[in-house]
Structure 1
Amino acid sequence: MRRFVVAALLLGVSVATPAAAQHRAKCSLGTCQVRLTPEQLLAQAEALVRERRFDEAAPLIAALSQAPGMKLQSRFLEGYSASERGDYARAATTFKAILSDDPNQTRVRLELARAMLGLGQMGSADRQFRLAEQSGELPPDIAAAIRGARQVIRSKRAWRLDVDLGIAPDSNINNATAADRINVNFGDTTLPVALDGNARAKSGTGVNAAVSAGLRLPVAPNTSALLGLDANGTEYAGGMFDDYLVQGTAGAEQRLSEKASVSLEGVAAQRWFGGRVASRQFGARGGTQLMFSPSKRLGIQFDARHTDAAFDDQYSGWQAGLYVTGEKAVARILVASLGGFARRDWLNAAAYSSSEFGATAGLGGELPYGVNFGVTATVSHASYDAPVTFFSLDRRRDWRYSARATLGYRKLRVLGFSPQLTLSYARNASNIDYYATDRVRMRFGLARYF
């Protein structure tokens, strides 16, 4: 029922034109011609759509699309008519095309959200409603209706499925040092040693795929069960550096109020590297989401898990992290984020146990012509509990830097997939040469969000 309340309110804020238009008819030999200005044509088409006379409105909308400066209005009326007729797929396609050209059209975004509700795509509808809310343009009654609609969405079963396929040239597929020689300690003697080819950085191009799925099941008022599955992998020629990870989660979310929620989930994961099991993990993660306003949010998450390292038991042990991220809409379709994190590894070997502290910043959103983008940067410092005496008598200390930029083109779709380009850079500046690494990765992919 909430969807229809939203629809009724939205009808009251459709494109404003006169309710009736004055025009002159010219008749000759029993045939009359009516000349309308584009504004009069728009008024006639809108009036017919409001009266639900869609068949009569269709030729006027088609004619309107040829009028100078009326492309947006004609496309909107075409999508709105399709939505009112129950053809939500066509409506969604039309509204997405408008937003691809101009993502600042809040009114269109609201209609896209309504079409997504009709298609049963609750997660996509909620995202569009959220973007419309953060624009700050909604009248109070519309904003209240949208908040109610989002509450209804959260109270219903919702699922998501994201699929991403790509090719990834990589400068360092084994994440190894670029040094040819390092110093090692033999007792009181330090000797230079040439590194084997497999111990040095190798470049290559991998075939990459990622799937992320989630299910939210209401089990009680304000309580939902959460299920999630994430899998990603990259395959390289020869198979020596193939890397695959599968992670599953299960838990619950409790809404404390309209603006706050908490969640707790169990986590299990397994990683394969080079065709062999590299590690298994189990643990828990949880957190809270706080919304101070439609444009300001804060998220706090903790993650604690035990790792069984199949390749070397010295790397087995517990890991825990705390992450805090704040988001703020800096424009109708641009969101900036700033966060900090702290992580601790208690592993079987003190030389591999560490504490890490860092900060991250990002900016993302939608641009005209169907382009969406995201940029993030992270810097952190890690210090280890004991030295790896084979390499140095000093404890290892790292400064870690990473950056990533992503460009997507939603206007182009192939079987629902849109092209996406990602460029990432990671550098580990360590006081021990063996652990100093640089890595540049470019990924050409196709992504689809169901």
Structure 2
Amino acid sequence: MTIMSISNLRKSCATFAVVVLTSVGTLGGTAPVAIAATTSKGAVEIEVAFDYAMAALQAGQPRVAIPVLQSILAEDPKLTRVRLELARAYFMAEQWARSREEFFRVLSGDLPEPVRKTVLAFIRQIDARRGFDWDLSIGLTSAGNKRRYNTERLKTNPLYYGGLPYVDYDRPVENVPALTLSGRMSLRRQLDGLSSENTSVVGFMSLGLNAVEAQRRSYDTQQVISQLGLRLLSRKTTISVGPIAKAQWEAGRHVEDRFGLQVGFERRSLAGGSAYGELNYLIVDNTIGVRPNDPTDYDARDGESLTGTVGYRRSVGGRALIGSDFTYERRDFDRSVVGIEGFHAYKLRVYATIDVSDGWTLSPSLHVRHKDAWGVTPVFANNPDETAFGGSLRVERSDIFLPGGYTPYAQLDFERNRSGIEAFSYETLGFQIGVERRF
């Protein structure tokens, strides 16, 4: 089966509706919609709103239907049939990430197998989409020296540090207002010559930007990420491979480039499970020296980075996602950086996204990370290995829409890092509010 064009993808929405109509029951028109089990006033209002949203979809107006469907789910997030139509509305509006997420969530709902197979087909078509698309989120946050260190005094081995038993730091905690921006644009094209009946191949290229513009220029940061490559797709599997490049600026100064290869995969099931993974190998070119007054030291942070992630996530009850993943990172420095030649890092994360009542969506996450340094020089009096515990909570209001199709969100982040060296032990607390584009 070859991948359809965007226009044909839109036409396939009608086919999807027919499958749902046949398998689940009438979703629109003059026949009543059995969304609720009661005939209360609230149930009647839901029926009327749903019929209105379906009429908008049939008229090719998904941006009219999306807020209505979201408001229904705000009343009852368990309505699987409403979430199906929301996923289809996002699909028609070309909001691919939102559509994919809603389609994946609904797999754990009460659906007959033909509908599940159709949902998987839509996820595949989203991954194989052609043309140009973009996404954007803007928020208010704080920037600065957020780490609260246990001490500003670093104990050293006086035999290897000029006879001094310690070195004093000056790292005051400072937070200033900042604007954060995250955006991404992508272009994809199917490669018919490489595709077959069961496997499709899509070429892609993308450009992403993550930026923080702070009240003080010294805290400004910008990161640009560019990718291109191939995406191989079957009904249940997506594999991507290609080069990746990253460039970083701090305080208006170009500080680092990373370039290399990225490989990713996802394997999906009819029941709403997904195994996924990613592998990155990058060459690091850094322009910041460990000793700023030493011009020969500016290649000290150059080296190599290898990062791999494997994980599993699952849709639950047609309204939530839960998952866990494990990440390994190896970093090699060309020269000893602040007394180490490299490190291994291990991170275990558990996370969830849950639609609760009244239009609230909660996304909690917890993690534990350990960093094991090697090539440690005798400059340190203690072991610089680190163990960190932390988490985040993101809160979205999915039934409030601002001009331009944006919805509000807030996020809280915390981490406590413990090192064998007290001067490297710290905790951080961050908060962010903003808006995210939905359609």
Q: One fold, TM greater than 0.5?
A: yes
Deviations 1:111-143, CA, capped at 9 Å, x for gaps: 2233334334444433332222232x1123323
**2:322 aligned residue:** 336
SS state of the match for residue 315, structure 1? Answer: coil
**2:165 aligned residue:** 191
Are the counterparts in 1 of residues 108 and 316 from structure 2 also a CA contact under 8 Å? no
Distance 2:180 2:435 in 1: 10
Matched, 1:181 2:153: yes
> What is the aligned-residue RMSD (CA, Å)?
2.8
**2:232 aligned residue:** 254
Worse-matched range after superposition: 120-129 or 70-79: 120-129
Distance 2:354 2:236 in 1: 23
Matched, 1:269 2:269: no
SS state of the match for residue 165, structure 2? Answer: strand
Number of aligned residue pairs: 403
Are the counterparts in 1 of residues 108 and 318 from structure 2 also a CA contact under 8 Å? yes
Distance 1:195 1:321 in 2: 31
**2:135 aligned residue:** 162
Are the counterparts in 1 of residues 146 and 429 from structure 2 also a CA contact under 8 Å? no
1:299 Cα offset (Å)? 0.6
1:248 Cα offset (Å)? 0.9
1:211 Cα offset (Å)? 1.2
**1:11 aligned residue:** 21
Paired residue type of 1:253: R
Paired residue type of 1:397: D
In structure 2, the CA distance between the partners of 1:292 and 1:84, relative to structure 1 (3 Å rule), is: closer
Structure with bigger gyration radius: 1
SS state of the match for residue 145, structure 2? Answer: coil
**2:309 aligned residue:** 323
In structure 2, the CA distance between the partners of 1:340 and 1:96, relative to structure 1 (3 Å rule), is: same
Distance 2:372 2:158 in 1: 24
**2:83 aligned residue:** 109
Query: Aligned ranges for residues 383-398 of structure 1 at < 5 Å?
Result: 383-390=372-379, 392-398=380-386
1:284 pairs, out of 261, 264, 274, with 261
Worse-matched range after superposition: 291-300 or 181-190: 181-190
Identity of aligned residues (%): 18
1:308 pairs, out of 285, 297, 314, with 285
1:412 pairs, out of 400, 405, 408, with 400
Higher relative contact order (CA 8 A, sep 6+): 2
In structure 2, the CA distance between the partners of 1:307 and 1:79, relative to structure 1 (3 Å rule), is: same
Distance 2:238 2:425 in 1: 41
SS state of the match for residue 258, structure 1? Answer: coil
In structure 2, the CA distance between the partners of 1:205 and 1:185, relative to structure 1 (3 Å rule), is: farther
1:187 Cα offset (Å)? 2.3
Q: TM-score, normalised on structure 1? A: 0.81
**2:30 aligned residue:** 46
Distance 1:224 1:94 in 2: 34
Paired residue type of 1:439: T
**2:423 aligned residue:** 434
Deviations 1:335-378, CA, capped at 9 Å, x for gaps: 11111121111111241411112211111122222111111111
In structure 2, the CA distance between the partners of 1:399 and 1:119, relative to structure 1 (3 Å rule), is: closer
Worse-matched range after superposition: 105-114 or 176-185: 176-185
2:54 pairs, out of 52, 69, 80, with 80
Paired residue type of 2:355: E
Are the counterparts in 2 of residues 383 and 395 from structure 1 also a CA contact under 8 Å? no
In structure 2, the CA distance between the partners of 1:174 and 1:185, relative to structure 1 (3 Å rule), is: farther
In structure 2, the CA distance between the partners of 1:384 and 1:294, relative to structure 1 (3 Å rule), is: same
Consecutive unaligned residues in structure 1, runs of 5 or more: 18-41, 50-64
Distance 2:266 2:318 in 1: 21
**2:387 aligned residue:** 399
SS state of the match for residue 217, structure 2? Answer: coil
**2:217 aligned residue:** 239
SS state of the match for residue 375, structure 2? Answer: coil
1:315 Cα offset (Å)? 1.0
Q: TM-score, normalised on structure 2? A: 0.83
Distance 2:92 2:372 in 1: 53
1:334 Cα offset (Å)? 1.3
Consecutive unaligned residues in structure 2, runs of 5 or more: 1-10, 34-38, 290-298
Worse-matched range after superposition: 428-437 or 121-130: 121-130
Deviations 1:301-351, CA, capped at 9 Å, x for gaps: 111101111012211100001111111223321111111121111111241
1:262 Cα offset (Å)? 1.7
**2:335 aligned residue:** 349
